Amino acid sequence: MASQEVQLRSTVAGFTAEGKLHTLSVWFIVALRLMMGIAFFQSGFDKVLSGSFSAAGYLQNAPPSNGSPVADLFVSMGSTPWFVDFVNVAVPWGEVLIGLGLIFGVLTRLAAFWGAFMMLMFYLGNWDIAHGYINGDFAYMLVFLSVAAFGAGRILGLDQYIEQYEIGGQPLVERYPWARYFLG
């Protein structure tokens, strides 16, 4: 079977980047999606099972102690009871749902967006620039964004089928183009 190279080209602010994807790239894209999906699912599932997850102490103490530039924001969040109650549900269940979305390749871009957002919050909350500004939280944020950019749910994922589901004789993403921001 002959392999095809895919040409990429993008222009942003007058600068153009282009290149070709190797045929094995598809497997690495799936691997990134599954790696992040399993990691987030496992982390969230453990929190849900323990039933004792609480973000209050972290929000109030970790960012100020590590010199986070947004420590005051985290302390304010941790001092607001309704927000702490929200975070105590949103973090574990968010991790579970993001993980499942990535594992099954369903609503992949939506899951990757929220995964990247959570990693940004972790990056700011776990502030540690002793070895530079790039750390694991920052790298995971970029992996989530890459998963979204590559439309990784279309590769061995359910998004490829959801996008083509016909509504009124048209594939879903043709009838509702905005759905591409959530699927893929």
- Euclidean distance between CA atoms 125 and 64, whole angstroms: 9
Task: From residue 167, give the alpha-carbon distance in Å to each of 163, 171, 179, 181, 184.
Answer: 10, 6, 13, 18, 18
Measured CA to CA, the distance from residue 143 to residue 146 in angstroms comes to: 5
Whether 168 and 175 have beta carbons less than 8 Å apart is answered as yes
Q: Quick one: tokens of 87?
A: 């975070």
pLDDT tens, residue by residue, 79-89: 999 999 999 99
- What pTM did the predictor assign? 0.86
Enter the DSSP assignment of 171: E
Residue 3's pLDDT is 57
Q: Write the Ramachandran bin of 169: left for phi over 0, alpha for psi from -120 to 50, otherwise beta.
A: left
User: Which tens digits make up the pLDDT trace of 50-91?
Assistant: 988 899 888 988 888 888 899 999 999 999 999 999 999 999
Looking at residue 66, its pLDDT comes to 86
Residues 6+ apart with CB under 8 A from 96: 40, 41, 44, 45, 48
Virtual CA dihedral for 35, 38, 41, 42, nearest 10 degrees?
-120
Q: What is the pLDDT along the chain (184 residues), one digit of tens a residue?
A: 455 677 888 899 999 998 888 888 889 999 999 999 999 999 999 999 998 889 988 898 888 888 889 999 999 999 999 999 999 999 999 999 999 999 999 999 999 999 999 999 999 998 888 788 898 899 999 999 999 999 999 999 999 999 999 998 999 988 898 988 899 8
pLDDT for the residue 51: 86
